[in-house]
Amino acid sequence: MAPVIKTEKITHIYSAGTVFEHTALSDVSFEALRGEYIGIIGHTGSGKSTFIQTLNGLIRPTSGTVFFDGTDIRQSKERTRDIRFKVGLVFQYPEYQLFEETVFNDIAFGPKNMGLNAHEVAERVREAAGFVGLREDDLEKSPFELSGGLRRRAAIAGVIAMRPEVLIADEPTAGLDPAGSSEIIANIGAYRRSTGATIIIVTHSMEEIAQNADRVTVFDGGRIVMDAPPAAAFSRSDELSAMGLGVPAATAIANRLRARGLPIAGGIITADGLRAALRELRRGAGSA
């Protein structure tokens, strides 16, 4: 299957030629398939935020090319703008970007910019609100009357309303309580299931990746240093911790148990997986 998004050796240097020169990305080649769920992890300053902004053309890499559906997103001005609607990008703390008088109008900002008519815009807004679990009466409120978690969901709905084929989110659960976090992850999952969109999530939560992602891409020093299914990536916990990254709690527990001599299987990344492995172990011990 052809990748929906592909980058070819992109390098990005900030403030080139000054004392503040800083290479954020070097030679990053990456592919995402249609419908794939990709988790991006990396230490602060590893280039992941810069990277996702190159995917919808907000940042033009110093060198290298970004392809959407096989063609360069920089082919023409119209195409670059069009890509913004196809590759939806949710920034960190998106609730601080709300500006309209009502939640409805704010979610409608993207669809309106797409040039849709009032009827279509309303339909998109209702649909997006449904995905993030906003009630009908929330739509007529001011964004500032909503709670923090709901405000975040309204902001995410503002991107979903463009029906992007690729939905990218930069730490969508940062600063939320566990209930709020899992709701947002569920909202994004619902959007993916009903539209078949590709999801790319930057996160610090290894649990989130273990539970949802098909693949995890690890950034370090502006490069992709690991790109593998979560079970395979988290089995390299030493390398990850050398980069200042962790593994899911279940993997850490399994590792410690194994270190103590318990014959526990590898590739455990979720609590359910750990529970199953421990049951297995007890059954084995019982029959022996």
Partner 1 sequence: MLKDITLGQYFPDDTVVHRLDPRTKLVLTLVFIAALFVARGIVSYALMLAALVCCIAASRVGARALLKSIRPIIAVIAVTAALNVFFTRGTPIVRLWAITITREGLIGAAYMVTRLVMLISGTFLLTYTTSPISLTDGIESLLAPLKRIKLPVHEFAMMMSIALRFIPTLIEETDKIMSAQKARGADFETGSLIRRARALLPILIPLFISAFRRADELATAMESRCYHGGEGRTRMKKLAMSPGDYISLVCGAALALAVVLTNMAAP
Nearer to partner 1 (CB atom), residue 71 or residue 96: 96
Question: Which stretch of DSSP H or E encloses residue 84?
Answer: helix 77-86
Nearer to partner 1 (CB atom), residue 200 or residue 269: 200
What's the min distance (Å) between Cβ of 184 and partner 1? 17
Tokens 């592909």 sit on residue: 6
What's the min distance (Å) between Cβ of 159 and partner 1? 7
Cα distance between residue 91 and residue 95, in whole Å: 9
What's the min distance (Å) between Cβ of 161 and partner 1? 9
Residues at the site binding partner 1, with contacts judged by CB under 8 A: 14-15, 18-19, 53, 56, 58, 81, 84-85, 88-89, 91, 94, 96-99, 109-110, 113-114, 158-159, 162
For residue 91, give every residue at least 6 positions away whose Cβ sits within 8 Å of its Cβ, in sequence order, or none. Answer: 97, 170
Cα distance between residue 241 and residue 243, in whole Å: 5
Nearer to partner 1 (CB atom), residue 153 or residue 215: 153
What's the min distance (Å) between Cβ of 155 and partner 1? 9
Cα distance between residue 31 and residue 227, in whole Å: 10
What's the min distance (Å) between Cβ of 151 and partner 1? 12
Nearer to partner 1 (CB atom), residue 61 or residue 230: 61
Cβ burial, residue 23 (10 Å; 0-12/13-18/19+): middle
Tokens 């395979």 sit on residue: 232
Nearer to partner 1 (CB atom), residue 51 or residue 85: 85
Nearer to partner 1 (CB atom), residue 27 or residue 82: 82
What's the min distance (Å) between Cβ of 137 and partner 1? 23
Torsion sign over Cα 167, 220, 1, 269: negative
What's the min distance (Å) between Cβ of 99 and partner 1? 4
Written in H, E and C, the secondary structure of 12-71 is EEECCCCCCCEEEEEEEEEEECCCCEEEEEECCCCCHHHHHHHHCCCCCCCEEEEEECCE
Torsion sign over Cα 49, 51, 56, 58: positive
Nearer to partner 1 (CB atom), residue 57 or residue 230: 57
Tokens 């910019």 sit on residue: 113
Residues facing residue 68 across a β-bridge: 5, 71
